[in-house]
Amino acid sequence: MKKNTFIKGQRQPTPLGGVETAAKIMSLMKMNMANTIIGDIAEKDEKLAIEIQENMFLFDSLAKIDDRSIQKILQKTPNDQLAVALKSSSKTVQDKLYKNMSKRAKKRLSDDMDMLGDLRASDIELAQKNITRTARKMADTGEIILEIKR
């Protein structure tokens, strides 16, 4: 059996967490600083930048942004896509979105969700990603603020 040998004063590299860890760190930064860093990453590796962005702002993060921004996101989100995205989302996210809808819109969405039946996890995930992409695009153009309340 080979022994690990350590040279005094030298440290072994520590593996770090990858995309998810980078996204968590970036989520703690001010949005403009995070966007600058994402832009720098995109210049070298656009796919990596997109992957980090998708992990920075997850669908569950919607529960933590301001009501006005939620209302604007809802205006740009097709009802059928919203129904799929909410089908297996947390009660916290559902409550946040319902709170920002009219009674009639809530009823229609609830009916749509009831008619969906069982869905594949991949379909739900895709609908959720589409909504978070829309939110990020809106934030990039200044329409909304995605600053998460801590």
The first and second tokens of residue 136, run together, are 């990020």
Which residues, at least 6 apart from 125, have a Cβ–Cβ distance to it below 8 Å?
A: none
Per-domain residue ranges of the chain? 17-56, 59-150
Q: What is the rounded distance in angstroms from the CA atom of residue 116 to the CA atom of residue 114?
A: 6
Class of domain 59-150: mainly alpha
Question: What DSSP element (H or E) covers 97?
Answer: helix 91-99
Contact 114, 79 (CB under 8 A): no
Residues comprising the chain, all counted: 150
Mean residue pLDDT of the chain comes to 84
Model confidence over 96-135: pLDDT tens digits? Answer: 999 999 999 999 999 999 899 889 999 999 999 999 989 9
Return per-residue pLDDT of the chain as tens, 150 residues. Answer: 444 555 555 666 566 678 888 888 877 777 778 888 988 998 999 899 888 887 777 898 899 899 999 999 999 999 999 999 998 899 999 999 999 999 999 999 999 998 998 899 999 999 999 999 899 889 878 898 876 554
CATH architecture group of domain 17-56: Up-down Bundle (1.20)
Q: How far is CA 36 from the centre of its chain?
A: 18
Q: Which of 128, 142, 125 is nearest to 77 (CA)?
A: 128
Tell me what pLDDT residue 10 has: 60
Which residues, at least 6 apart from 65, have a Cβ–Cβ distance to it below 8 Å?
A: 144, 145, 146, 147, 148, 149
